[in-house]
Structure 1
Amino acid sequence: MKITVLLPKNYFKIILIFVLFLFSTSIQAQNPKGKLFIIGGGNRSDALMTQLISISDLEKKDFVVVLPMSSEEPDSAYIYFKEQFQKLTPHPIIMMNFDKNTANNKTLTDSLQKAKLIFISGGDQTRFMNVVYNTPIYTAIHKAYQNGSTIAGTSAGAAVMSEKMITGNQKLEKEYSGTFDNIRYDNLETTEGLGLITNAIIDQHFLKRSRYNRLISAMVEFPNLTGIGIDESTAIIVHNNEIEVAGESEVIVLKNPKGVQKTKNNLISIKGLDMSIYNAGQKFKVK
């Protein structure tokens, strides 16, 4: 018995439109509408903060949320930010100091998602992620970013932006040090960050604290990522894959380590490594 299936005349047109819709949706998911404003720590000049306000496109109804969970003194971190920011913009500035008890509060996380500008304070990036990771807070930040909000952070608030987050600790040393004394493999401790940047790894206070050894170590551990070292009083503005530098100092970019060899005592050699230096107004792309 032969069965004939009659398809509508516009069947293939419908299928094509559906496929294009799925492709378009996929592209939109990969290209958030929002921006990142990532500060390397240190002094935040009024000029730098004015630039943050400008790119955030704040409208009359919009408000700013400060997430101070990185800080040992969250109230002080919020007050310091507010005192500077309220001179520059009339928009409400709200602190949301989440903890394990409030991380699942839907009213609070819904409000966070609606903020047009979210600022993450300095302190300890691991402390921040211990509160945020795998919670509705994490989801709210991502949704805000997808929908057009600007996510900003300084120091620890910069480190949390990347998927692979530098904690600052060394696996081969018991004592914490602000910089690494040498370059060794399997020494850099990383954990999961916010993942707002998936193709780069961020380091902060970069020139001020001479963190070259640390970021080079990251390039050995994650050779497919781009290493971005942001100095103090300096920021990068990220919109999709294009990055612009703002502020007073420089940004160091490392990528494409070649001929990496690991030897005894965890030492390494690298035959080639691309390095670029950028300052305010200059742009580069991360693939």
Structure 2
Amino acid sequence: MEVKGKLIVIGGAVDKGSFTEADYNLNLVHNLNFFETGILKRIIDESKHKEKSRIEIITTASHIPKEVGPEYVKAFHHLNAENVGVIYLAKREQASDPEVLDLLKAADIVVFTGGDQLRLTSILGGTPFHNMLLDKYQNEEFIYAGTSAGAAAASNAMIYQGSSQEALLKGEVKITSGLGFINDVIIDTHFVQRGRIGRLFQAVVGNPKVLGIGLGEDTGLLITEGHKMEAIGSGLVIIVDGLQIKDTNLTTVELGQPISIKNMIVHVMSQYDTYNLKNHDLVIHSSQYIE
């Protein structure tokens, strides 16, 4: 069955943006440059009712939710989206509260902030709130948007730990179950800035059916119909495709030893490029070969 909702996953740095700066209002034009032309504006434009859509900010992943939530409200208000609220979910039992579920039921967009993705899945996983999210995404004109931890948790498989420097040593990357909005991909965030390519290589070589997606900061993917991906934002999206892997030493080396991989395919996407998860086809929007 075709997915009716849209998934927008963001690599990070939009978590609080410039809205926490003390001189924010003095540098309004500079600080709004990303928000006006970039991802938050795209979230609004893709939604059912545009600026009038009901937006709920979910701060569960963050350890400073009372700071992060209002910053997003402020950001959306500056983009003329006034119908915005914050749902603070810090305990599993809150995810079964009828009042909280009513807020989610009325939402056209939910935005999951950054923080700790394991905190996000351990609090929300399997709750009525989680189940309603999945149902709305499958059956309604609904947007799940997640940045950093909110993006990493969106897929069925989720990286939750692993140093950037040692990530291509066997056992250094830790993977668990995510929120399950999309299957057969695994998403890593802050990707270019924190040098996390090795983390994604290890995640993919362990199961080459899974497509690795590395999101740079201020960069994301808009995923429609469950399989059509478009790069949005100002940076790069790295795609790691393991389907053509010919050889590896993954199962023969000891824990902590380097992993070798033969014939791993890597694509680089930038704004407006598209990738189809069904046929693994990348289309470069501004290709030098298009007449």
The normalised TM-score by structure 2 is 0.82
Instruction: Answer yes or no: is the 8 Å Cα contact 1:202–1:228 preserved in 2.
Output: yes
The residue aligned with 1:32 is 3
Q: Which residue of 2 aligns with 1:106?
A: 98
User: 1:103 & 1:202 partners in 2: Cα distance?
Assistant: 25
**Structure 1 56/188 Cα, relative in aligned 2: closer, same or farther at 3 Å?**
same
CA offset digits 1:38-91 (Å, max 9, x no partner): 110014521221111101132576310110000001111101111111111334
Aligned positions of 1:1-287 closer than 5 A: 27=1, 31-43=2-14, 45-46=34-35, 47-48=37-38, 49-58=40-49, 62-98=53-89, 99-146=91-138, 147-167=140-160, 169-170=161-162, 177=163, 179-239=164-224, 240-256=226-242, 257-262=245-250, 263-266=252-255, 267-287=258-278
Return closer, same or farther for 1:102/1:232 CA change in 2, 3 Å cut-off.
Answer: same
Deviates more, 1:40-49 or 1:55-64: 55-64
Equivalent position of 1:10 in the other structure: none
Q: Secondary structure of the residue that 2:92 maps to in structure 1? A: coil
Alpha-carbon contact 1:162-1:194 (below 8 Å) kept: yes
The residue matched to 2:95 in structure 1 has which SS?
coil
For the residues of structure 2 that align with 1:35 and 1:180, how far apart are their CA atoms? 34
Question: Aligned partners of 1:212 and 1:90: how far apart in 2?
Answer: 36
The amino acid that maps onto 1:68 is: T
Larger radius of gyration: 1
Hey, what's the Cα distance between the residues in 2 that align with 1:82 and 1:236?
Answer: 22
Moved more, 42-51 or 235-244: 42-51
Same amino acid, percent of matched pairs: 29
Provide Cα deviations, 1:241-271, integer angstroms capped at 9, x if missing partner.
1100011111000012331223333332211
Q: Output the CA distance in 2 between the equivalents of 1:268 and 1:101.
A: 42
Question: How many residues are matched?
Answer: 250
Over the aligned positions, Cα root-mean-square deviation in angstroms equals: 1.6
- Alpha-carbon separation, structure 1, partners of 2:130 and 2:146: 15
The structural deviation recorded for 1:161 is: 0.6
Query: What CA distance in whole angstroms lies between the structure 1 residues aligned with 2:196 and 2:261?
Result: 18
Q: Which runs of 5+ in 2 are unaligned?
A: 18-33, 279-291
Cα distance in 2 for residues equivalent to 1:186 and 1:109: 39
SS in 2 for 1:232: coil
CA drift of 1:128 comes to 1.0
Q: Is the 8 A contact 1:39 1:234 kept in 2?
A: yes
Distance in 2 of aligned mates of 1:94 and 1:76:
14
Residue 134 of structure 2 aligns to a residue in which SS? helix
